[in-house]
């Protein structure tokens, strides 16, 4: 059988989520750079924009987005070990870390990639050029690479990375790393001996940007070696947890959530919940001003647009102005939909867990329309 093809790049944040899942499921796949001519000829015309990751199935179907790729395998019954726990507390916990890993860590990911040129610049420009323009020599692609990376460097401001916020971004990230290190010293994955959707969410930022670029990779090795070891584990076809003697390849029993994760939840509540609240409030106001919107309309009106505006919120003594990305609302709504589907007894247990961690609002911060994924794009759902 023709293997699956993953169009991705090693330095791409969102590629890591899909890649790790395929590895852990032991899917027969080949990774092809999006700089390959086949991507421009076969993928872009169908997807309608330059974006990765994209999976091509043996039948030629194209699936764009890490979550959609994971769910394609889950829904097709092709998952060797499901990314989704069956019990309430573990399911909601894993989905919260999917959101936080892919979106809540973008501030440190952007900062540590683009603001340490003395250590990072030569490596980053080499990687962007090598995988985006593989048929050109290094000299030929240099000018193009500098232009493209300059645009991305400027985009860091959209996530709240400024000269004023950088010291607190570093403090917050190092604190998070140290907390996560405590957890991965005791557990090979978030919830025991197998990865969940939360692990796949976290690997996005913690591999491509923060675990692979020279400066943040060194920082991670120095202050959070167990986290760095987890990034290796997440890219291994085996469980790769030999230091955890006799650890079963299974989730923790009885829907258990370790205290180390509850401590991390409190960090999520402090550092990311204000942004979720601001996103939700902005989006509801924006939707109220768009009465003509129809179900199925492309979010933002343009398949290439990621943001519908910008919002402000207080974070560690700063007022941040950030782009409002409806994709985050899609991930937030996955948490809420999962909670709505949990039975009554488990619901109470989930609510107790989130209240203890100060995260109970994550269940109630809802927009007046859902953000859905259809035809490889975000679209608006019906009014709620």
Residues 18 and 159 in one domain: no
pLDDT of residue 301: 81
Residues 18 and 101 in one domain: no
Residue 131 pLDDT exceeds 80: no
Residue 34 pLDDT exceeds 70: yes
- C-alpha 279, offset from chain centre: 17
pLDDT of residue 159: 92
**What tokens appear for 163 in the block?**
């000269």
Residue 58 lies in a domain: yes
Residues 188 and 294 in one domain: no
pLDDT of residue 284: 97
Residue 84 lies in a domain: no
Residues 190 and 258 in one domain: yes
Residue 7 pLDDT exceeds 90: yes
CATH number at residue 43: 3.40.30.10
Residues 314 and 351 in one domain: yes
pLDDT of residue 141: 77
Q: At what angle do helices 138-155 and 117-132 cross, to 10 degrees?
A: 120
Mean pLDDT for 318-337 is 96
Domain boundary among 15, 42, 75: 75
Residues 244 and 157 in one domain: yes
Give residue-wise pLDDT tens across range 50-109. 999 999 999 999 999 999 999 999 999 999 999 999 999 999 999 999 999 999 999 999
Is the separation of the CB atoms in 239 and 194 below 8 Å?
A: yes
Residues 40 and 151 in one domain: no
Residue 81 lies in a domain: no
Residue 283 lies in a domain: yes
pLDDT of residue 146: 75
CA angle 14, 31, 329 (to 5 degrees): 20
Residues 196 and 150 in one domain: yes
**Most confidently predicted of 2-11, 41-50, 231-240:** 231-240
Residue 83 lies in a domain: no
Residues 299 and 353 in one domain: yes
> What's phi and psi for 272, nearest 5 deg?
-125, -25
pLDDT of residue 151: 77
Domain boundary among 45, 75, 105: 75
pLDDT of residue 302: 79
Query: For the chain, how many structural domains are there in total?
Result: 3
Give residue-wise pLDDT tens across range 260-314. 999 999 999 999 999 999 999 999 999 999 999 999 999 988 777 788 999 999 9
Q: What percentage of the chain has pLDDT greater than the value 70?
A: 99
CATH number at residue 166: 1.20.1050.10
Residues 333 and 264 in one domain: no
pLDDT of residue 321: 95
CA angle 62, 63, 68 (to 5 degrees): 170
Range of the domain at 134: 90-269
Domain boundary among 269, 294, 320: 269
- Give the model's confidence band at 1: pLDDT under 50 very low, under 70 low, under 90 confident, else very high: low
pLDDT of residue 128: 85
Residue 169 lies in a domain: yes
Give residue-wise pLDDT tens across range 178-211. 999 999 999 999 999 999 999 999 999 999 999 9
- Give the model's confidence band at 327: pLDDT under 50 very low, under 70 low, under 90 confident, else very high: very high
Q: ω before 286 within 30° of 0 (cis)?
A: no
């Amino acid at each position: 059988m023709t293997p699956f093809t993953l169009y991705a790049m090693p330095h791409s944040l969102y590629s890591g989520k899909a890649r790790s899942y395929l590895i852990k499921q032991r899917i027969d796949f080949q990774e092809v750079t999006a700089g390959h001519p086949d991507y421009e000829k076969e993928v872009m015309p169908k997807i309608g924009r330059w974006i990765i990751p994209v999976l091509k199935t043996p039948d030629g179907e194209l699936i764009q987005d890490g979550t959609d790729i994971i769910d394609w395998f889950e829904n097709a019954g092709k998952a060797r070990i499901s990314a989704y726990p069956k019990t309430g507390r573990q399911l909601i916990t894993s989905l919260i870390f999917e959101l936080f890993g892919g979106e809540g860590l973008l501030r440190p990911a952007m900062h540590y990639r683009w603001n340490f040129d003395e250590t990072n610049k030569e490596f980053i420009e080499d990687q962007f050029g090598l995988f985006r323009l593989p048929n050109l020599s290094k000299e030929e692609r240099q000018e193009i690479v500098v232009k493209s990376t300059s645009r991305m460097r400027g985009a860091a401001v959209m996530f709240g990375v400024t000269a004023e916020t950088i010291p607190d971004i570093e403090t917050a990230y190092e604190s998070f790393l140290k907390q996560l290190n405590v957890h991965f010293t005791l557990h090979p994955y978030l919830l025991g001996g197998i990865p969940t959707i939360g692990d796949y969410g976290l690997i996005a930022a913690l591999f491509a940007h923060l675990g692979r670029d020279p400066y943040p990779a060194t920082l991670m090795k120095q202050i959070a070696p167990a986290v760095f070891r987890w990034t290796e584990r997440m890219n291994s076809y085996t469980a790769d947890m030999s230091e955890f003697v006799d650890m079963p390849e299974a989730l923790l029993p009885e829907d258990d959530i370790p205290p180390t994760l509850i401590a991390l939840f409190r960090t999520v509540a402090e550092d990311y919940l204000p942004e979720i609240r601001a996103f939700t409030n902005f989006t509801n106001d924006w939707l109220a001003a768009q009465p003509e919107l129809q179900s199925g309309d492309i979010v933002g009106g343009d398949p290439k647009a990621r943001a519908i505006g910008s919002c402000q919120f207080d974070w560690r003594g700063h007022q941040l102005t950030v782009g409002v990305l409806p994709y985050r609302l899609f991930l937030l709504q996955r948490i809420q939909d999962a909670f709505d589907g949990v039975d009554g007894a488990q619901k109470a247990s989930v609510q107790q867990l989130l209240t203890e961690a100060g995260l109970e609002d994550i269940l109630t911060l809802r927009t007046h329309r859902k953000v859905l994924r259809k035809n490889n794009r975000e679209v608006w759902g019906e009014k709620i």
